Amino acid sequence: MTKRIDIKNLSVDMCERLLRDLERAKRPVLEATKCTLDNSLYNPKVGYLTPGDKKVQTELNVSSVQKMSRAIFILEILLRNLDVGATNTKREIYYIAKGEIKHNAALKPLDFADQNESDEIIDFICEMLECYREDVNCFANDRGGQTYSQQLVVHETMPDGTKAIIDLSRLGTAPFQPKNRPQDLKLRAKKKIDFCVIVESEGTANTLVNSGFTKRHSCILLGAQGVPSNAVRGWTKLIQDQLDVPCYFFGDLDAYTMQNIFRTLKAGSAGSLIRNSDFSAPEVRFLGVLPEDIKKYDLPDYAVKENDASESRALKKARDALNNDPFFKDKRNKGVADILKWLIVHKRRCEQQAYFSVNPRDPLMPEKIILDKIKNKNFV
């Protein structure tokens, strides 16, 4: 289990440093890890992107004094939340801050014109403390990760100490929805689980479940709902680590999916360098759509629209990724990099739903193909 960050101590340390410097009329400098691709390292043995040595420094000066004052003000609110175990969304924090300012005239200069301003401060605090905002009890809406299984049982300990046991086979048609910070959950398999499939499209995951996929196979099926949220990333990591189950990602064949969805799920992202250890599942394999599947199953594919801004941007990013992204540059990930190269050269794309065209009258055809691919190790 991951070690929880002691936000309170970190905050006191940071403020103590700040105060001490001020007492000596020395300019305080706050340091944070630079979370960008140029400061990302990839070691295949570790399996996810880790931070390099580069740091971002924020110095106290007349231009930053407003931002720092706001940060200390919001930090106090967050620490209070942690003390009493309260959680809030960013929008709620915005209104809490507005309320504080309304009742204390001295704080008037800190007032936020809109939520973007307070959001920026929350992100700034997280950068300084090198934590996720879930660590400061600020949660976003849970998105993605709806999980179905007949074998999986989840043990949850509530903040008040009470315990809950969720047997996914007893949820009927309802899925289990992991929280954005799922690391405290404990997983157990009632019977050996053979594999876990993470489906990019939430709709396709539902279709597979409705057709009895999870009943016929001892597996876990979850919908990623596009770019994986912290919940999906942490949850997949948990399944991989606690159940030792092979995980497969089933998604579209296009540059965006390879870079933004699969890479993030497998090795984390540059933006979350400091927390990738908890939010990446290095063992996940790319099940498809693979370039050879187009020919093998005669799948309908499309040319990339170069006049479409987002598609051409994804291709450009793919070229950059091949040159600069340590994940794609590593020879262990040659298979994934080759797919990216194929996409750049052929400028074609194929959607995961294309498997439904193989035998349009057989609703189980996609399921058969998925199983066939797993069985024949037809993945990357």
Candidates 280, 250, 246; CA nearest to 265 is: 280
How far are the Cα atoms of 20, 48, 61 from residue 25, in angstroms, in the given order? 9, 42, 12
Instruction: Name every residue whose Cβ is closer than 8 Å to that of residue 15 and which is 6 or more positions away in sequence.
Output: 72, 75
- Window 79-138: residues binding another protein (CB under 8 A): 79, 106-107, 109-110
29 binds another protein (CB under 8 A): no
Nearest-approach distance from CB 287 to another protein, in angstroms: 46
When the beta carbons of 101 and 358 are compared against another protein, the nearer one is: 101
Our finding on whether 31 is near another protein (CB under 8 A) is: no
- Asked if 26 interacts with another protein (CB under 8 A), we say yes
345 binds another protein (CB under 8 A): no
Tell whether residue 78 is a contact of another protein (CB under 8 A).
no
Q: What is the number of alpha carbons within 13 Å of residue 75 lying toward its C-beta?
A: 22
Rounded least distance, CB 28 to another protein, Å: 9
Q: Choose between 67 and 317: whose C-beta lies nearer to another protein.
A: 67
Is 181 buried (19+), middle (13-18) or exposed (0-12) by CB count in 10 A?
buried
**Range in contact with another protein (rule: CB under 8 A) among 72-80, 225-233, 246-254, 363-371:** 72-80
Q: What SS3 class is residue 114?
A: coil
Among 7, 60, 93, 380, the residue binding another protein under the rule CB under 8 A is 60
Least distance in angstroms from the C-beta of 362 to another protein: 56
Q: Are strands 219-223 and 147-149 parallel, antiparallel or unpaired?
A: antiparallel
Min. distance of Cβ 57 from another protein in angstroms?
A: 16
> What's the count of helices (H) and strands (E) in the chain, helices before strands?
14, 14
For 290, residues 6+ apart whose C-beta sits below 8 A from its C-beta are: 253, 339, 378, 379, 380
Give CA–CA dist 143/148, Å, rounded.
Answer: 15
Determine if 16 is a binding residue for another protein (CB under 8 A): yes
Interacting span for another protein (CB under 8 A) from 17-25, 44-52, 226-234, 348-356:
17-25
Q: Is 10 in the site for another protein (CB under 8 A)?
A: no
The smaller minimum CB distance to another protein, of residues 29 and 164, is found at: 29
d(CA 74, CA 69): 9
Q: Which is nearer to another protein, 23 or 53 (CB)?
A: 23
The whole-angstrom separation of Cα 269 and Cα 207 is 29
Stretch that binds another protein, among 57-65, 155-163, 290-298, 332-340 (CB under 8 A): 57-65
Residue 10: closest CA among 26, 40, 25, 32: 32
Q: Is 160 in the site for another protein (CB under 8 A)?
A: no
Q: Please tell me whether residue 9 binds another protein under the rule CB under 8 A.
A: no
Residues 289 and 351 sit within 8 Å (Cβ to Cβ): yes
Q: What is the DSSP letter of 335?
A: H
Encoded amino acid at 113, one letter: A
The binder of another protein chosen from 1, 65, 165, 171 (CB under 8 A)? 65
Q: Could you list the residues that contact another protein (CB under 8 A)?
A: 11-12, 15-16, 18-19, 21-27, 60-63, 65-66, 68-69, 72-73, 75-76, 79, 106-107, 109-110
